[in-house]
């Protein structure tokens, strides 16, 4: 995420040593570690409170599914693997490289629009 190499970490450590001094650096590192542990405990408690409040019907709920990127990937592009290749999900109608949304138009009675054609407009639906 931050692309920290060994040399960058070493430079940061030397700068911290110069700014805080050798007598204050262990105390500051200890406080930073404690703050990080406290922050993780707060996040885990909030997550467990959320799961407890949702009840048993949401037992398999994953909070990462609320991320819009993950939501779209899961619900619209679920047949694609990480390389953009289509994969059959076992329901027998998986066409390689074609998402389910695009295949729905191939159902009987549904027609694809030709290039430049406007979709039908229903004035009562709006």
Domain assignment present for residue 113? The answer is no
If asked whether residues 53 and 72 sit together in one domain, one would say: no
Domain assignment present for residue 112? The answer is no
**Count of the separate structural domains present in the chain:** 2
Provide the pLDDT for residue 35: 96
If asked whether residues 17 and 41 sit together in one domain, one would say: yes
pLDDT along the chain (126 residues), means of 10: 81 90 90 95 90 78 79 70 47 48 52 81 78
The answer to whether 38 and 30 have CB atoms below 8 angstroms apart is: no
Give CA 71 to chain center in angstroms: 7
Domain assignment present for residue 10? The answer is yes
If asked whether residues 44 and 68 sit together in one domain, one would say: no
Provide the pLDDT for residue 114: 84
If asked whether residues 15 and 32 sit together in one domain, one would say: yes
Domain assignment present for residue 74? The answer is yes
What is the domain range of residue 89? 63-106
């Amino acid at each position: 995420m931050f692309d920290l190499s060994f040399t960058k970490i070493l430079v940061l450590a030397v700068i911290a040593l110069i700014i805080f001094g050798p007598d204050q650096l262990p105390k500051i590192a200890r406080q930073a570690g404690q703050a990080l542990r406290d922050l993780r405990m707060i996040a885990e408690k909030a997550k467990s409170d959320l799961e407890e409040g949702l009840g048993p019907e949401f037992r398999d709920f994953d909070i990462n599914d609320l991320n819009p990127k993950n939501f779209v990937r899961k619900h619209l592009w679920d047949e694609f693997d990480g390389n953009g290749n289509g994969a059959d999900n076992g329901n027998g109608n998986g066409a390689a490289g074609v998402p389910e949304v695009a295949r729905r138009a191939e159902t009987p009675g549904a027609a694809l629009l030709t290039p430049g054609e406007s979709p039908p407009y229903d004035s009562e639906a709006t």
